[in-house]
Amino acid sequence: MVSYFKDKVIIVTGASSGIGLASVKKFASLGANVVLAARSIDKLESIAANMKQEKVLCVKTDVSREEDCKNLIEQTVARFGKIDILVNNAGISMRAVFKDMELDVMRSLMDTNFWGTVYCTKYALPYLLESKGSVVGVISTAGYVGLPARTGYSASKFAVRGFLETLRIEHLYDGLHVMIFAPGFTSSNIRNVALTADGSPQGATPRKEERMMSAERVANILARGLFRRKTKMVLTPLGKATLFVSGRMPHVTDKVEYRMMANEPDSPLKKQ
């Protein structure tokens, strides 16, 4: 893969932690020019300093803001002259039942997860078409099946999947590679900062992070998927099993999902 990634220009949103950070390090180790995008420029610059590479660009980016996404693309092209890969990884989660949730929480999820992907892809697309490059949407199993107490999260990830599937078909014959990437539960801080019903962060993860797939392993699989130009990737045995069963016995999947989410500590769902 080293020869494939060497000197490619790769943008990763949500690059300050989790899958985004692990992906940046993986791509850099393969010789790519990496562009780190996140809201905290201090974190990005600290990461870049520790990487000790010249082929790194940090751009402060709130993907929910169209002008920030446009600036990200413009700065990337000004520095490197092209874009080969865009990894739309920035995202937020939530945990609340819809009847109790303030609508601003749903808007925040859609603005970051869905519109962030749309904005970045829109402005990067001319350059990706020129390079016959790749656009990736990091979604979740929740982008294939509804996840209880995560209505905003599931809705945003379903929307990303629909957007990218359509984009792939529109560009079926002009060399653009579109990949929908669903890692499943991955060890990261996304659950610590997940929004509650009133929009405040829940502050602690309700799941056992140490039992989940590591962000580094996810980044390795992401790199292999890009190298092979995969169109869809669903990781973890649980994610694959969920999709398999939901297509054949959706009523069973509904009950299993409800039970899993209801058994989380301080779950907003009632145990049955």
Q: What angle do CA 163, 139, 117 make, to 5 degrees?
A: 50
Which amino acid, one-letter code, is at 125? L
Is 245 in contact with 252 (CB distance < 8 Å)?
yes
Q: CA-to-CA distance for 269 and 263, rounded, in angstroms? A: 8
Chain center to CA of 175: 23
Q: CA-to-CA distance for 181 and 218, rounded, in angstroms? A: 10
Q: What angle do CA 189, 195, 200 make, to 5 degrees?
A: 110
Q: Among residues 4, 127, 153, 258, which one is catalytic?
A: 153
Please say if 119 is a catalytic residue: no
Taking the CB of residue 60, how many other CB atoms lie within 10 A of it? 17
Consecutive H or E run containing 158: helix 151-170
The token duo for 152 is 């905003």
CA distances to 27, 78, 158, 173, 176 from 237, rounded to whole Å, are 25, 42, 20, 33, 29
Closest by CA to 90, choosing from 135, 158, 137, 41, is: 137
Is the sign of the CA dihedral 112, 240, 144, 34 positive or negative?
A: positive
Q: Provide the annotated active-site residues.
A: 153
